[in-house]
Amino acid sequence: MSTFSRIRYVIAANMNALLEKAEDPEKLLRALIREMEDAGEDARLAAADLLAEQQHLERVLARLERESGEWQERAEKAVEAGRDDLARAALKAHKECDERRRNTREEQAALNARVAQLETDMTTLKGKLAEAKSKLRSLHTRQQLRQSPPAVAEQEASRHERKLRQAMGRFDRLQSQVERLEARVRSYEVGGAEPVSWAAVEAADDPALEAELEALKARVAGDSKGSAKQQAPVEAGENL
């Protein structure tokens, strides 16, 4: 059973209905508490893995954003230098970067949805665990009061309450250890893919790519003419 399926199964369990049918409610409650604690630990470990994957996708997106801008700049410089072959190669690499960025964003959105759902399930599980522990404590206290004299019953209740507090303390310490593990996971650096050498990219006969190249040439040529017009009046004034 996967982590998500296990935690959903535990959350969906109707505790009250199970207790009404159980021959030994205390034994059943203890089993439910163990199952909830195990499911909670699995969920926290799964959350740590998802958070690490989130960090990786963020780094991948940042790298692709940077590479996309670099390929666009290289295409413009190639057009200015009259190297249409290099311009085509750079535009093709720019297009591939944009496609990978779209795919990575879709993967990131799906991952964010899983993380949000897991956080919601963990909050629900935490509430049910607290409820089960409270029921176990009340059930045990009532049983001791029925079976023991008042003074002995009070001592027994106090002893079992201490045991429950100790168990809850161990659970909290385990949770703190897992949270520290999650913090270390977030600090891991996951390397991205090797950058593509733009000189080695093979430009295929692509009409869309050719149209983009022509548009880039026109824009670069327009920028050059605008710069020349701005310099002309200055030169005329210097001659006077």
Residue 174, pLDDT above cutoff 80: no
In the structure, what pLDDT confidence band is assigned to residue 179 with cuts at 50, 70 and 90? low
Q: Is residue 41 assigned to a domain?
A: yes
Q: Is residue 141 assigned to a domain?
A: yes
Domain of 46 in residue numbering reads as 3-186
Q: In this structure, what token pair is assigned to residue 24?
A: 């030994």
Rounded CA separation 98/58 (Å)? 15
Phi/psi at 206 (nearest 5 deg)? -125, 110
Q: Is residue 26 assigned to a domain?
A: yes
CA 118 remoteness from chain centre: 11
Phi/psi at 23 (nearest 5 deg)? -75, -35
Q: Is residue 107 assigned to a domain?
A: yes
Q: What is the pLDDT of residue 139?
A: 76
Q: How many CB atoms lie within 10 A of CB 92?
A: 21
Residue 229, pLDDT above cutoff 70: no
Rounded CA separation 129/15 (Å)? 10
Residue 158, pLDDT above cutoff 50: yes
Q: How many residues are listed for the chain in this entry? A: 240
User: In this structure, are residues 61 and 108 in contact, taking their beta carbons and an 8 Å threshold?
Assistant: yes
Residue for token pair 């006077």: 240
Average pLDDT value for residue range 165-180: 68
Q: Is residue 221 assigned to a domain?
A: no
Q: Is residue 29 assigned to a domain?
A: yes
Please give the DSSP secondary-structure letter assigned to residue 148. Answer: S
Residue 102, pLDDT above cutoff 50: yes
Residue 68, pLDDT above cutoff 80: yes
Rounded CA separation 143/185 (Å)? 46
Q: Which of 100, 92, 96, 93 is nearest to 61 (CA)?
A: 100
Average pLDDT value for residue range 116-139: 85
DSSP string, 2-71: -HHHHHHHHHH--HHHHHHH-SSHHHHHHHHHHHHHHHHHHHHHHHHHHHHHHHHHHHHHHHHHHHHHHH
pLDDT in tens, 8-54: 666 666 666 666 676 777 888 888 888 888 888 888 888 889 999 99
Is 0.85 topped by the overall pTM? no
In the structure, what pLDDT confidence band is assigned to residue 238 with cuts at 50, 70 and 90? low
User: In this structure, are residues 209 and 95 in contact, taking their beta carbons and an 8 Å threshold?
Assistant: yes
- Amino acid of residue 1: M
Rounded CA separation 67/190 (Å)? 17
Q: Is residue 235 assigned to a domain?
A: no
Q: Is residue 237 assigned to a domain?
A: no
Residue 207, pLDDT above cutoff 90: no
Residue 189, pLDDT above cutoff 50: no
Number of domains in the chain: 1
